[in-house]
């Protein structure tokens, strides 16, 4: 909903800031409750940080908290780049729905095959570009403007 063209002092940006702040507090509360219930890392195989989806949740919440703590005073581009992790918040919904988890895992496992296919397609496009350059080289070296009425 936020665009770079929006006025930073507008009511819309202020409301979005409050929503962002409240969602960060809710996610932080959820994370703290889960860590309290499961233990952080060394409480057995069901510890909070031992599940990949919880690691993703942890990174998102920590980056959001860092953004709130640092605020706009941080001028270092690395710290500003950490704010982009807020984009990953919708991925939290995946961890709640088993069907979405299966789809994302299937997509992740098929990525190497998709990349191989992409390389083959790009190779054929490259070959066809070389063939086109060879076949049509010099054919379009000039254009005729005789049919245009350029006098005014």
CATH of the domain at 50: 1.20.120
Q: What is the mean pLDDT of the chain?
A: 80
Name the band, by pLDDT with cuts 50, 70 and 90, for residue 129: very high
Question: What is the tens place of the pLDDT at every residue in 57-106?
Answer: 888 888 888 777 776 655 555 656 666 666 666 766 676 777 877 888 88
Q: Are residues 103 and 69 in the same domain?
A: no
Per-residue pLDDT, 119: 96
Per-residue pLDDT, 54: 83
Domain that holds residue 52: 1-96
State how far the alpha carbon of 100 is from the alpha carbons of 14, 46, 51, 147, in Å: 33, 22, 16, 60
Q: Can you tell me which residue has the tokens 């932080």? A: 28
Residue 146 falls inside a structural domain: no
The count of residues in the chain is: 152
**Is 79 found in the same domain as 4?**
yes
Q: Are residues 79 and 15 in the same domain?
A: yes
Which band of pLDDT confidence, cut at 50, 70 and 90, is reported for residue 123?
very high
Distance between CA atoms of 140 and 79, rounded to whole angstroms?
A: 52
User: Same structural domain for residues 67 and 105?
Assistant: no
The whole-model pTM stands at 0.55
pLDDT tens digits, 86-98? 666 676 667 677 7
pLDDT at 89: 67
Segment 18-39 mean pLDDT = 88
Note whether residue 148 is domain-resident: no
152 domain-assigned: no
Q: Clarify whether residues 6 and 73 are in a common domain.
A: yes
Q: Select, from the ranges 21-30, 98-107, 114-123, 137-146, the one with the highest average predicted confidence (pLDDT).
A: 114-123
Domain assignment present for residue 151? The answer is no
Q: Which of 44, 41, 89 is nearest to 65 (CA)?
A: 89
8 Å CB contact between 96 and 53: no
Q: Are residues 51 and 84 in the same domain?
A: yes
Please provide the distance, in angstroms rounded to a whole number, between the alpha carbons at the two ends of the chain: 49
- Same domain assignment for residues 23 and 90: yes
On whether the CB atoms of residues 60 and 23 are closer than 8 A, the answer is: no
Q: Is residue 64 part of a domain?
A: yes
What pLDDT score does 85 carry? 66
Same domain for 114 and 75? no
* 90 and 134 co-located in one domain: no
């Amino acid at each position: 909903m936020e665009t770079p063209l929006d006025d930073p002092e507008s009511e819309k940006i202020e409301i979005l800031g409050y929503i962002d702040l409240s969602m960060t507090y809710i996610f932080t509360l959820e994370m703290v409750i889960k860590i309290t219930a499961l233990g952080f890392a060394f409480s057995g195989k069901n510890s909070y940080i031992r599940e990949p989806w919880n690691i993703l949740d942890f990174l998102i919440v920590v980056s959001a908290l860092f953004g709130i703590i640092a605020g706009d005073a941080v001028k270092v581009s690395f710290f500003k780049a950490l704010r982009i992790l807020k984009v990953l918040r919708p991925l939290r919904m995946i961890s709640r729905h088993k069907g979405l988890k299966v789809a994302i895992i299937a997509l992740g496992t098929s990525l190497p095959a998709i990349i191989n296919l992409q390389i083959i397609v790009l190779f054929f496009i490259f070959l066809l570009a070389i063939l086109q350059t060879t076949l049509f080289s010099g054919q379009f070296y000039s254009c005729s403007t005789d049919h245009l009425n350029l006098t005014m």
